Structure 1
Amino acid sequence: MLSIFNSIPTHMDYKGQKMSEQIFQGIILVCAVVGFVYGLIIQQFGCTVYIVLVGFVVSCILTLPPWPMYRRHPLPWQPVIPENGAESNQKPQESQKKKKHK
């Protein structure tokens, strides 16, 4: 059951994060302006709030999940160079541990 959750990608690259932030701000801004104008025309502040809340929900759906469009530019990480395998499996010696102060 947990393997299903491990297969879901949970990362975004830096360009994807920037694009996600721009989309989020753009949707909120457009909905705020449209909501303000519409609420001003019909003289109902509640409609303005509802329009902004709908824009917030839409922007959350579009920007919070790591959609594939946010993962197009992965960073080229350097390959892992293993150190001496025999030494890496050993526990640290007692002399290397920090002593507790009394």
Structure 2
Amino acid sequence: MDDLLAPIQAALEGPIDFHGQRLANTLSTALLTVFGAIAFIVGYIQQDIHLTLWLGLAGTLITLLIVVPPYPFYNRNPEKWLDPVVYHRGSCPRVITALGDNILPIRSTRWYPASLDLISEKVSSTASIGQKPPL
């Protein structure tokens, strides 16, 4: 089964940038709205629900052919990704993000800043159950 689907998947996969995604979304919404309105109007004038459904199906298939394949105009503005900078500080290697001010540990289970440890230690050492912490 994979041998049959691999060529189809290779033909439909392709890079689409963020602007291309917005364009595909706008095109699909506009085309489906236009084809739906045309199908409704023609079906209403002809008083034929089958004609309305067939025109709606045809509009959906045309929209599918326009929006789904990764045409080159969907990738006109590709993003330029920066490589991460890795440095070793102590025993934990860290990554500097593109902004340079956020330093993220690569292997760490801590999800909060270390300053919260100091605050929680102060509060827990000065306050017991039922007492308000000092201000």
TM-score, shorter chain, exceeding 0.5: yes
Tell me what 1:21 maps to.
25
Change (3 A) 1:51 1:76: same
Structure 2 counterparts to residues 3-82 of structure 1, below 5 A: 10-79=14-83
- Unaligned residue ranges in structure 1 (runs of 5+): 85-102
CA RMSD of aligned residues (A): 2.4
Structure showing the higher helix proportion among its residues: 1
- Unaligned residue ranges in structure 2 (runs of 5+): 1-5, 89-135
1:45 partner amino acid: I
Structure showing the higher strand proportion among its residues: 2
Runs of 4+ aligned structure 1 residues displaced above 2 Å come to: 5-9, 79-84
How does the TM-score come out when normalised to structure 2?
Answer: 0.53
How does the TM-score come out when normalised to structure 1?
Answer: 0.68
- C-alpha separation between the residues in 2 aligned to 1:17 and 1:50? 28
Worse overlay, 72-81 or 14-23: 72-81
Matched pairs, number: 81
